């Protein structure tokens, strides 16, 4: 994204792949690959110009807000499911009903529902052997944030790089709670989430989670669109 429809200045920002944003204006500017068309666009945090070479026009609109547990990403963000429920890799036992989403580092996880931060684990620092792409021996080291929903259940967000909340803090659905990463047993940056019975700790028995904006039975390779909208 550029402040003006040309490359005379450094990029002012970048949009995540597959995000749906509003077009404010269409204009002519510096040709890119022979196409002089640029669009002025606006997202939640960015406004600027993008060459038509890098975008695709669509009449689709970002989902509107709804009730219930929502996907843990910004409104309209499309993410891939890298591991679903009851997988043969690691979503078994207490983790049977967990989800892994292949979110990039610029896609901070959002609270799926409001609640109070009850537990945090931040024992993996940059440079630690388990900080990124750790093996099976890193299974119990993933940084995580757990949110208590006051109904006997909580949700956990794991493999994060840096927490943006504190224990005891009240968070609303849609609040940024972490920066994503790959700490712990991981093959790359992703967000691990699940709903759990409250056992008084961080990692408890996972229970089924029906996303109000997505299919809770999504399998690896599926793409889902977040309706975690204001």
Q: Which residues of 110-135 are buried (b: 16+ CB within 10 A; e: fewer)?
A: bbbbebbbbbbbeebeeeeebbbebe
Q: Is 17's pLDDT higher than 60?
A: no
Average pLDDT over the chain, rounded to whole? 83
pLDDT, tens digit, 9 for 90 and up, residues 172-200: 999 998 877 766 556 667 788 999 999 99
> Which residues on neighbouring strands pair with residue 153, listed in sequence order?
197
- Please give the CATH architecture assigned to the domain spanning 78-225: Distorted Sandwich (2.70)
% of the chain surpassing 70 pLDDT: 80
End-to-end Cα, the chain, rounded Å: 24
Q: What pLDDT shows up at residue 180? A: 72
Q: Is 203's pLDDT higher than 90?
A: no
Domain edges within the chain: 1-61, 78-225
Q: What is the DSSP string of 56-120?
A: ------PPPP-SS---SS-TT-EEEEEE-TT-SSS--GGGTT-EEE---TT---B-SS-EEEEEE
d(CA 140, CA 142): 6
């Amino acid at each position: 994204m550029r402040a003006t429809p040309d490359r005379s200045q450094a990029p002012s920002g970048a949009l995540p792949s597959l995000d749906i944003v509003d077009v404010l204006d269409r204009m002519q500017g510096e040709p890119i690959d022979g196409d002089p068309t640029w669009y002025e666009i606006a997202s939640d945090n960015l406004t600027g110009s993008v060459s038509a070479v890098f975008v695709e026009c669509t009449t689709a609109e970002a989902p509107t807000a709804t009730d219930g547990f929502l996907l843990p990403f910004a409104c309209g963000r499309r993410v891939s499911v890298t591991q679903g429920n009851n997988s043969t890799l690691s979503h078994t036992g207490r983790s049977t009903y967990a989800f892994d989403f292949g979110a990039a580092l610029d896609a901070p996880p959002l609270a799926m529902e409001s609640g109070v931060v009850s537990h945090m684990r931040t024992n993996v620092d940059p440079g630690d052997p388990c900080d990124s792409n750790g093996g099976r021996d890193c299974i119990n080291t993933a940084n995580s944030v757990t949110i208590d929903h006051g109904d006997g259940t909580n949700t956990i967000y794991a493999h994060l790089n840096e927490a943006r909340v504190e224990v005891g803090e009240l968070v609303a659905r849609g609040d940024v709670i972490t920066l994503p990463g790959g700490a712990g047993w991981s093959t790359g940056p992703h967000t691990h989430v699940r709903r759990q019975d409250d056992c008084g700790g961080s990692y408890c028995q996972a229970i089924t989670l029906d996303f109000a904006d997505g299919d809770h039975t999504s399998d690896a390779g599926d793409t889902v669109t977040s309706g975690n909208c204001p």
